[in-house]
């Protein structure tokens, strides 16, 4: 049956237990994680892990051969499984040959990936999850919402209900009592089990050892009590040497659960003696060890230079812990097992391919919080973009999006004409610079947020007149790439950006042939449209051979500076020109801060004046790495009392089309941002991104109309005007 993703999202958003549990966890996690790293150089540890895992994937076939040989040398059996069905067939073969009736399981997301339990139980074999969270979820008929804490979305009352259902007696919602009850029940399972089935956090090619990192101890029991031990491990878990284990263990517990070390670290390197009852007699013999090496798409990913960075994942799930979407809706709205941005990638690579990936990949908003925290430094949003592009090539685009991108966005005159028509058509719904109410089924979009109106006169109609104010002997000559928002929605801010640079001795021109940067199309996977727009913009912006190309939109800046290079990397004839172009691209606040510093104008001003706070857009903070410059400009502006807000760099919920497509998720993110702004007591929230200006400005207009939204350019220009310059 087809899933109704929208319905599932709304159900999660309306679940107070889930929202409370995830919200509290997300609030506490960043500080707890940093505390666990005290005294350590986090970046050095991350780089060690990244380098080791990167090298491993380059030699994955040799590692697999060495690992198999090492396991066999120590008495184990290795089976390489092409896919999930092969795993299940082989496990059933093991069970038949060894008269296995009961299995205890622990620590295996890969078994969830291939839906192992249902098929094994269908053959009359009793199989029991022994991880406490996994056990409760199996009773509830749910799958994990988190890789490390599978039942994090449940509270104690719900857990007690599942205990009561499974054990057929009333179990109080007392955590110690429930844990003790689980211990008693699961102990019987361990004692009766014929086979212990586990996953692995890593497999060491050098000696054939597999490692398990746990806090409950169930994995250790599952590998020591039953007479047969089966380990399911994906190729991505293979590492070269024993010494490489430390590179994982120094990061995995700290990033996963904010612990310096987990309670149990178990290493299995060959069969060990086991005592069990056979034909009514106690016998002692070596435990049988089977290691199943799972492919299921992993080897194809390993050999793909654009996708193999996924091998740097150690399944710590820290990317989920900071994901603004996951912390609102949990993990069950994603694929059947892996969630968050990394979940979208793993589903696309390992399960049912791009078809399933496309269903929920747009739940990644590209904020890059995951990249900032990932121990393996995986560029999750970049890989998602790559998969989106491949999905478009393989399956095409929806008709409406294809029409807009390929027939309108690439035709500057048509696109801009439609925007001008829109400026007139919106009049009945416009109040000042906002659309505060929309009719019919659009009404939800303006419940707690106004929408910006298209300006009567775009910046491009005012640009030529501004050039007369360029300095006669400029320090540098730059061209202005406005982007669609600054041109048609916030032209006043675009004018102010020009005024600020002219005041700093810079001559600014605006090439009229420029059009959309292409980010909307490329964000949806349409790179052909992106390349067409890139070529037009490069030609238009380089025509006058400027010293620099600047933009007051970080999204456009990142697209021009970085994405253009990426989309032409397979086009040598174009690549050289693109690199020359990208080397000239500058973000507005960074450029102005550099100019002001040379003039000695970046000194903090006297305290007092209008209270101003600042919101970091995702693209400027983590895409471009610009953090200090906007703050330095505000702090140096006379009459401004700068105050930092809580979570200044958390996403406001706009994220391009996301804020329109997923209004129900966008609004809680916006409300949290508005509350953080209000708590500063500021009269103005400054931003350096027009998209954030749209989202936060609309939220303030509805929820806190006494607080104004301004681009940094607006504040700087107001100061210049006040000085009479």
**148 and 62 in one domain?**
no
Q: Which residue has the higher pLDDT, 446 or 544?
A: 544
The pLDDT value recorded for residue 268 is 93
Closest CA to 531 of 624, 618, 397, 409: 409
Judgement on whether residues 119 and 204 belong to the same structural domain of the protein: yes
Looking at the fold, whether 117 and 171 belong to one and the same domain comes out as no
725 vs 399, more confident: 399
Last residue of a domain, one of 308, 329, 363: 308
Q: Is residue 432 part of a domain?
A: no
pLDDT score, position 283: 79
The number of angstroms, rounded, from the C-alpha of 198 to the middle of its chain's C-alpha atoms is: 28
* Mean pLDDT of the residues in the chain: 92
Band (pLDDT 50/70/90 cuts) for residue 470 is: very high
Whether residue 556 is contained in a domain is answered as no
The verdict on residue 76 lying in a domain is yes
User: Within this chain, do residues 201 and 339 fall inside the same structural domain, yes or no?
Assistant: no
The answer to whether 136 and 159 are in contact (CB under 8 A) is yes
Separation CA 134–CA 399 (nearest Å): 42
Residue 428 scores a pLDDT above 60: yes
- Is the predicted pLDDT of residue 725 greater than 70, yes or no? no
Average pLDDT over residues 83-107: 96
pTM: 0.92
Q: Based on the structure, what is the number of domains in the chain?
A: 4
What is the distance between the alpha carbons of residues 266 and 256, in angstroms, rounded to a whole number?
17
Residue-wise pLDDT for 634-666, tens only, equals 999 999 999 999 999 999 999 888 888 899 999
Do residues 148 and 113 both lie within one domain? no
pLDDT higher than threshold 90 for residue 457: yes
Q: What is the pLDDT of residue 367?
A: 94
**Region of poorest pLDDT, from 125-134, 395-404, 424-433:** 424-433
List the structure tokens of 662: 């997923």
- Which pair of structure tokens corresponds to residue 613? 């706070």
Q: Are residues 208 and 257 in the same domain?
A: yes
Q: Which domain holds residue 661?
A: 601-723
117 with 229, same domain?
Answer: yes
**Per-position b or e across 121-151, b if 16+ CB within 10 A of its CB:** eeeebebbbbbbbbbbbbbbebbbbbbbbbb
15-19, 131-135, 383-387: which is most confident: 383-387
Report how far residue 360's alpha carbon sits from residue 339's, in angstroms, rounded to the nearest whole number: 10
- The answer to whether the Cα torsion of 13, 17, 20, 23 is positive or negative is negative
Residue labelled with tokens 């809580």: 646
On the CB side of 295, CA atoms within 13 Å amount to 14
Residue 59 lies in a domain: yes
Claim to verify: residue 122 and residue 135 sit in the same structural domain: no
Ranges 405-414, 438-447, 632-641, most confident: 632-641
**pLDDT confidence bin for 179, thresholds 50/70/90:** confident
Q: Exposed/middle/buried for 316, CB within 10 Å: 0-12, 13-18, 19+?
A: buried
pLDDT band at 527 (very low <50, low <70, confident <90, very high): very high
pLDDT, tens only, 102-132: 999 997 889 989 999 999 999 999 999 998 8
The predicted pLDDT at position 128 comes to 92
Same domain, 188 and 325: no
Helices (H), 146-293: 156-167, 175-192, 218-224, 245-249, 252-257
Q: How far apart (Å, rounded) are the C-alpha atoms in residues 198 and 219?
A: 7
How many residues make up the chain in this entry?
725
What confidence score (pLDDT) does residue 352 get? 60
Average pLDDT over residues 436-464: 79
The β-bridge partners of 238 are 203
pLDDT for res 441: 47
Pick from 277, 308, 339: which residue ends a domain? 308
pLDDT level of residue 497 (50, 70, 90 thresholds):
very high
Whether residue 471 has pLDDT greater than 50: yes
Q: Which range is least confidently modeled, 42-56, 71-85, 153-167, 631-645?
A: 153-167
Residue ranges in 14-129 assigned as alpha helix (H) = 16-36, 42-58, 60-73, 84-97, 109-113, 116-121
Among 375, 396, 417, which residue terminates a domain?
396
The CATH number linked to 99 is: 3.40.50.10420
Residue 126 CA: distances (Å) to CA of 108, 162, 188: 17, 19, 13
User: Does residue 585 fall inside a structural domain?
Assistant: no
Indicate if 388 and 340 belong to the same structural domain.
yes
Residue 409 falls within a domain, yes or no? no
- At 307-363, the pLDDT tens digits run 999 999 999 999 999 999 999 999 888 877 888 899 889 888 875 677 778 778 888
pLDDT band at 444 (very low <50, low <70, confident <90, very high): low
Phi then psi for residue 256, to 5 deg, are -80, -50
pLDDT for 643: 97
User: What pLDDT, in 10s, does the model give residues 551-570?
Assistant: 999 999 999 999 999 999 99
Assigned domain for 227 exists: yes
215 and 71 housed in the same domain: yes
pLDDT at residue 59 is higher than 60:
yes
> Is 88 within the bounds of a domain?
yes
Closest CA to 506 of 479, 485, 483: 479
Q: Are residues 209 and 115 in the same domain?
A: yes
Q: Give the residue with greater pLDDT, 481 vs 353.
A: 481
Q: Which is more confidently placed, 448 or 60?
A: 60
Beta strand 610-614 with 684-687 is: parallel
């Amino acid at each position: 049956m087809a899933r109704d993703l929208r319905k599932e999202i709304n159900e999660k958003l309306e679940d107070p237990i889930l929202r409370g549990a995830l919200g509290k966890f997300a609030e506490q996690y960043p500080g707890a994680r940093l505390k666990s790293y005290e005294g350590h150089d986090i970046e050095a540890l991350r780089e060690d892990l990244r380098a080791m895992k990167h090298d491993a994937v380059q030699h994955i076939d040799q590692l697999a051969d060495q690992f198999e040989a090492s396991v066999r040398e120590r008495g184990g059996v290795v089976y390489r499984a092409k896919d999930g069905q092969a795993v299940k067939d082989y496990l059933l073969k093991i069970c038949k040959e060894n008269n296995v009736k009961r299995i205890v399981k622990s620590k295996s997301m890969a078994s969830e990936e291939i839906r192992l339990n249902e098929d094994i139980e269908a053959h009359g074999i009793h199989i029991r999850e022994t991880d406490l969270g996994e056990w409760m979820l199996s009773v509830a008929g749910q799958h994990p919402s988190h890789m490390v804490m599978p039942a994090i979305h449940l509270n104690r009352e719900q857990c007690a209900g599942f205990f009561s259902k499974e054990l057929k007696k009333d179990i109080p919602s007392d955590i110690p009592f429930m844990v003790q009850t689980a211990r008693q029940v699961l102990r019987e399972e361990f004692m009766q089990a014929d086979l212990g089935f586990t996953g692995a956090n890593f497999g060491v090619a050098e000696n054939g050892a597999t490692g398990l990192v746990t806090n409950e101890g169930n994995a250790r029991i599952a590998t020591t009590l039953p007479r047969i031990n089966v380990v399911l491990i994906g190729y991505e878990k293979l590492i070269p040497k024993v010494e490489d284990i430390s590179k994982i263990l120094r990061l995995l517990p700290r990033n996963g659960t904010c612990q310096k070390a987990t309670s149990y670290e178990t290493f299995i390197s060959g069969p060990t003696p086991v005592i069990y009852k056979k034909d009514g007699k106690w016998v002692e013999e070596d435990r049988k060890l089977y290691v199943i090496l799972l492919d299921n798409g992993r080897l194809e990913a390993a050999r793909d230079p654009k996708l193999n960075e996924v091998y740097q994942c150690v399944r710590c799930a820290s990317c989920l812990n900071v994901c603004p979407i996951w912390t609102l809706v949990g993990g069950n709205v994603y694929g059947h097992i892996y969630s968050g941005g990394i979940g979208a990638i793993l589903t696309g690579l390992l399960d049912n391919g791009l078809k399933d990936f496309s269903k929920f990949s747009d739940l990644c908003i590209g904020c890059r919080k995951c990249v900032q925290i990932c121990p393996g430094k995986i560029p999750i949003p970049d890989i998602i973009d790559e998969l989106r592009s491949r999905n478009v090539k393989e399956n095409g685009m929806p008709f409406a999006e294809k029409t807009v991108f390929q027939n309108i966005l690439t035709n500057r005159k048509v696109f801009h004409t439609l925007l001008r028509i829109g400026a007139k058509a919106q009049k009945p719904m416009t109040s000042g610079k906002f659309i505060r109410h929309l009719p019919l089924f659009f009404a939800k979009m303006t419940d707690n947020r106004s929408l910006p109106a298209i300006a009567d006169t775009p910046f491009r109609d005012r640009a030529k007149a501004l050039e007369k104010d360029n300095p006669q002997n400029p320090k540098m000559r730059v061209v202005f790439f406005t982007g669609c928002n600054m041109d048609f929605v916030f032209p006043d801010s675009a004018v102010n950006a020009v005024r600020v640079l002219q005041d700093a001795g810079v001559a600014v021109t605006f090439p009229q042939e420029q059009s959309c940067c292409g980010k909307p199309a490329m964000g949806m996977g349409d790179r052909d449209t992106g390349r067409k727009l890139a070529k037009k913009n490069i030609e238009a912006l380089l025509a006058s051979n400027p010293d620099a190309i600047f933009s007051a939109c970080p999204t456009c800046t990142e697209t021009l500076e970085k994405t253009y290079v990426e989309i032409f990397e397979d086009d040598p004839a174009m690549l050289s020109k693109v690199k020359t172009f990208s080397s000239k691209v500058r973000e507005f606040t960074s450029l102005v801060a550099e100019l002001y510093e040379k003039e000695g104008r970046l000194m903090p001003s006297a305290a007092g004046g209008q209270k101003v706070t600042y919101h970091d857009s995702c693209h400027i903070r983590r895409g471009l790495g610009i953090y200090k410059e906007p703050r330095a400009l505000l702090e140096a502006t006379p009459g401004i009392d700068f105050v930092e807000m809580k979570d200044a760099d958390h996403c406001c919920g706009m994220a391009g089309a996301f804020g329109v497509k997923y209004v129900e998720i966008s609004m809680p993110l916006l409300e949290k941002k508005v509350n953080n702004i209000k708590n500063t007591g500021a009269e103005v929230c400054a931003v350096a991104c027009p998209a954030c200006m749209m989202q936060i400005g609309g939220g303030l207009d509805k929820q806190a109309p006494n607080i104004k939204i301004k681009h940094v350019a607006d504040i700087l220009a107001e100061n210049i005007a006040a000085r009479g310059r």
